[in-house]
Chains A and B, each alone.
Chain A
Amino acid sequence: MKTVNREILVSRIRPDFNGTLVAVPYKVRNIDGYLKKLSSYSGKRPTLSSDLQLMITFEQDESDFSDLQFLQKEFPNDFRVSKRNRNSHQEAASSVSKQQLQQVTGRINEQIAKCLPQSPWSEEKDEPREPGNSVSEKVCDILKKQFGASDSRFVTSGREDIDVRMLGTGRPFVVELRNCRITSPVRGLNYLETLKAVEKTINSQKDIKVNFLTRLPRDIAEKLSVGQEDKRKQYCAYCYSILPISDEQFATARSKIPLTIVQKTPVRVLKRRALLDRERTVYTMDFLKLDDHHFEVRLETQAGTYIKEFVHGDFGRTRPSLAELLGVDQGEVDILELDVEQVDLEWPPSIKQSPIKFR
């Protein structure tokens, strides 16, 4: 930027240079000048096949911070935060970024729907995705319309399979809206009211519910993805076993908890993940016997545990599996339904003092 600036200034001030200056880049002109001097002093000429490399660095400290500030003030339109820099922009440019970023967060429940994928997804590679039929779309579409955003990013604390419901207080999520046109409803403290209304709109949809919608500054919102593996989740699974299970077997299994299990990457995700051994902890486990073959198990595990594989053993690649703990691994134990009861994370983070006032 600085060299172009200089070029243009010089060409305007000194028309007698006739545009030669602009045609030949500044760097090259400098180097030419140096080369001539060098060859006249040493009698040698530059060549590519030499072992000696000469590097000439030009440092220019004329343009500096005050120049940057002047330009930002006079031409704010030209300062755009490019997509790549969204998360790592330099300090100087951020305060005048024209694109408004907003972070809206809350907790989300997928209560009724059992067939709702998190993001737009289709089973076959070439089938077009059914628009609007995913959790991320159901939430983001409404928010995008409300605030006139061009783009949104939906981030949650963990994901579940398409056939698993999220109950209880819900799963924490953050939606980042870019290029918001309609920002007055969330300026200052207005967002408290606006988001309540938005919450109602989203909840009027059949399959999902959100609550605790609030607005957060980016640095706090980013904490959602930090410390993923320390989180705990509670699940409730409805299972069956081919071999009958007695009360003593349930009691023996429960006595082994808390327990560390080792899971190899499940076969159903092996195509897109590396083959690894994962150690995870099961913190609590409780059984409800429904009959000799059916039971419900309530578990609290470390985040990142594959529950289905823990129950049926995944070809014996998850050890110990629930079947082993119950002593029925000659038969089979399988899961019929899985619900996530609770994601143990305090979210949105409680703001101790009065709610944050946004610009």
Chain B
Amino acid sequence: MTSPSFSYASVVDRIYSRRSSELYDNIAYLHHPSGVTVVVLRTIPSSEVIEVDFGSTKKHGADRSTNQVSGKGKRGALILQTDSKLCTFKCQDGTEHVVRAGVRGTLVEMNDRLKTHPDLIRTAPDNQGYIAIITYGAGVRDTDGMGDELPKKRLHLK
């Protein structure tokens, strides 16, 4: 084995392509070449996140986190338009932030751990604090709405 270097590409950057969103600056896409995208937060708020809300009973009904998909074809998935709301989160300092999809696709999964641990979206945005997983339909591996590649994060051993 060669002597270990002291920084590694993170797990995510090793496998996924990190892209910005053309429409919304606050999110980034981790796109897997097979055609699955994980939506993560890009602009990290400075104050602690106290609540993540997946469905607004007032306006848009459907609680995103109870979305059940079945089978390889992901039947029952919510179809997303570019401005579909994924979730809203509230911070300690009172600010509210909305997260919208930014791409058209089908919503496979939302991170329901954010219900019990909302601050993960701020402390571990690329890992346990991911927002949602989107895919595009049989055989489709890419979509519009994803911007340029963002620089990969290197992790340094602490």
Contact = CB atoms under 8 A, between A and B. Distances in A.
B20 interface: no
Contacts of A312: 11
B81 interface: no
A268 B32 contact: yes
Interface in A208-261: 240, 242-244
A274 B108 CA distance: 10
B11 to A, nearest CB: 5
A240 B8 contact: yes
B152 interface: no
A315 B8 contact: no
A271 B111 CA distance: 18
A332 to B, nearest CB: 6
A243 B155 CA distance: 10
A36 interface: no
A272 interface: yes
Interface string B117-158: 000100110011010010100000100000000000001111
10 A-B pairs closest in CB distance: A316-B128, A271-B34, A315-B130, A334-B11, A312-B11, A293-B157, A271-B35, A270-B36, A274-B71, A274-B72
Interface of B: 4, 8, 10-11, 14-15, 32, 34-36, 38, 69-72, 74, 108-109, 111, 113, 120, 123-124, 127-128, 130, 133, 135, 141, 155-158
Given A242-B156, A267-B133, A274-B74, 6 more contacts: A240-B4, A271-B35, A274-B72, A293-B157, A313-B128, A315-B111
15 contacts: A264-B109, A267-B36, A268-B15, A274-B71, A275-B69, A275-B74, A292-B157, A293-B157, A315-B38, A315-B128, A316-B111, A316-B130, A330-B123, A332-B11, A332-B155
